[in-house]
Amino acid sequence: MLFQPAIIALLLAAGLAVVMLAGVAPFAIQVIRHWDINSGSERQLALERRTYLFSTLLTFVLVAQLAALLLFVFNADRLSVMFVGAMCAVGTLNVNGWGFPSLITQMAVFFLAAMWLAINHVDTLARDYPLVRIKYALLLLLLPVLASSFWLELQYFLGLKANVITSCCGSMFSEEAKTIAAEASGLEPEPALWLFYAGMVAAIATPLWHWRLGSRISGFLTALTSGAGFVAAITGVLSFISLYIYEHPHHHCPFCILKPEYDYQGYWLYIPLFIATAAGLGAGAMQPFARSPSLASIVPRVSSRLAGLAVGGYILFTALATWFVLSSNLILIEH
């Protein structure tokens, strides 16, 4: 393992999140077993108060996860100098097989936590807390995801070994430089362009529809198109948006756009994208409960507000991406 501050910080954060969530898991089980909203007993009161702890904790995990995700990528980019053949974060993440799985799990934790918080939010607006049991069962399901995210991250960092000069022998040329496997997405720019804009139109139109209507089907579709929109957006970044930002026809990296050399343009793209996707997924996550009598009026109201957020985020993302493409000096598609 590399003994490096950012790595220690990331492991500390992930480990602490797991420990905290695992620490409160027994209480979640108590809530599931003994919850009785109609009881005036002191135990019920204590359980109710415990729910505040869970939502505070999950909010904390969500915020920490977002920060950790940024730090993870940021640090991977910085570490690339340590590995033969690695030019940026992609290379570092490819040093061993755990890098990308770890990154993807961390994103999953972020989106799952956002969905849980969305469900939690509608539940606390209903006077009878109809989703308490479901919510805490979901929370218990989130725990293994969080734990595996930590485990993957640990495996990844444990497997990192820098190619440094040792005192006996300076040459390591017997070892071939690793290929950067994710010099990603050999997609041609033109079909990629179509795919990207089709994805974005869907990801904007569906939540817009849901925002106006608030119906259940449109809510489910919002989650679906948000998920698909996220994939389309990342594919778009990989296949052509990054090329335009770098003004280089073969540089496909989704991480270098976060660097100061490119004016941090990546943050402008990713932050609206992540927020929009989290909002869209959250809007969908609450739809299965829209028929519950006390939530009937709450779910459409909250989910259409989230859909509005998703629309805004995707519009911002698409507009910025388009602007970066148009203002670039690179020409990929001849007219």
Partner 1 sequence: MNPWLEKQRHLIDFTLASLGRRKTKNIGLLLAYTLLVFVLASLTLFTHALRSEASFVLAGSPEVILQRMVAGRHDLIPPNYIEKIGRIRGVQKKEGRLWGYYYDTVLNANYTFMARSADEVADGYIMVGNALARERGLAAHNTISFRSYSGKLFTFEVSAVLSPDSELLSADLVLLSENDFRRFFEYPAGHFTDIALSVANPQEVRNIAAKLSSALPDSRPILREEVLRTYQSVFDWREGIVLTVLAGAILAFAILAWEKASGLSAEEKREIGILKAIGWETGDVIRMKTWEGLLISLSAFLLGFIAAYVHVFHFDAAVFEPVLKGWSVLYPRFTLVPTVDGLQIATLFFFTVFPYTAAVLVPIWRAAITDPDAVMRA
Partner 2 sequence: MIELSNIKKAFNQGQPNEYWALHGIDLALEAGKVTAFRGPSGSGKTTLLTIVGCLSRPTSGRVRFKGEDISGLPERFLTDIRRQSFGFVFQQFNLIKGLSALENVILPAFPTGRPRHELVTAAEGIFDQLKLGHRSTAKVEWLSGGEQQRVAIARALINDPEVIIADEPTANLDTALSKEFMSILEGFTATGKTVLLTSHDPLVVDSTAVHRVVGMRDGRLTED
Q: Rule CB under 8 A: choose which of 173, 261, 326, 333 binds partner 1.
A: 173
Q: Rule CB under 8 A: choose which of 30, 124, 215, 322 binds partner 2.
A: 124
Total residues in contact with partner 2, by rule CB under 8 A: 13
Angle, nearest 10°, between helix axes 99-125 and 298-326?
140
- Residue 159's nearest CA partner among 237, 223, 79, 105 is 79
* DSSP for 126-154, written as a single string: STT-TTHHHHHHHHHHHHHHHHHHHHHHH
**Separation of first and last alpha carbons in the chain:** 51
186 binds partner 1 (CB under 8 A): no
70 binds partner 1 (CB under 8 A): yes
Contact 298, 282 (CB under 8 A): no
* Closer of 125 and 224 to partner 2 (Cβ): 125
Q: How far apart are CA 159 and CA 28, in angstroms?
A: 35
Min dist CB 52 to partner 1, Å, is 5
Q: Rule CB under 8 A: choose which of 75, 102, 226, 304 binds partner 1.
A: 75
- Residue 303's nearest CA partner among 198, 226, 197, 228 is 226
* Closer of 171 and 329 to partner 1 (Cβ): 171
42 binds partner 2 (CB under 8 A): yes
Amino acid at 195: L
170 binds partner 1 (CB under 8 A): yes
* Closer of 50 and 178 to partner 2 (Cβ): 50
Contact 135, 125 (CB under 8 A): no
CA atoms within 13 A on the CB side of 262: 23
* Closer of 164 and 333 to partner 1 (Cβ): 164
271 binds partner 1 (CB under 8 A): no
Total residues in contact with partner 1, by rule CB under 8 A: 40
Q: How far apart are CA 273 and CA 310, in angstroms?
A: 9
36-55 positions binding partner 1, by CB under 8 A: 49, 52-53
4 binds partner 1 (CB under 8 A): yes
Partner that binds at residue 161, options partner 2, partner 1, none, CB closer than 5 to 8 Å by kind: none
Instruction: State the residues that interact with partner 2 by CB under 8 A.
Output: 37-38, 40-43, 45, 48-49, 124, 127-129
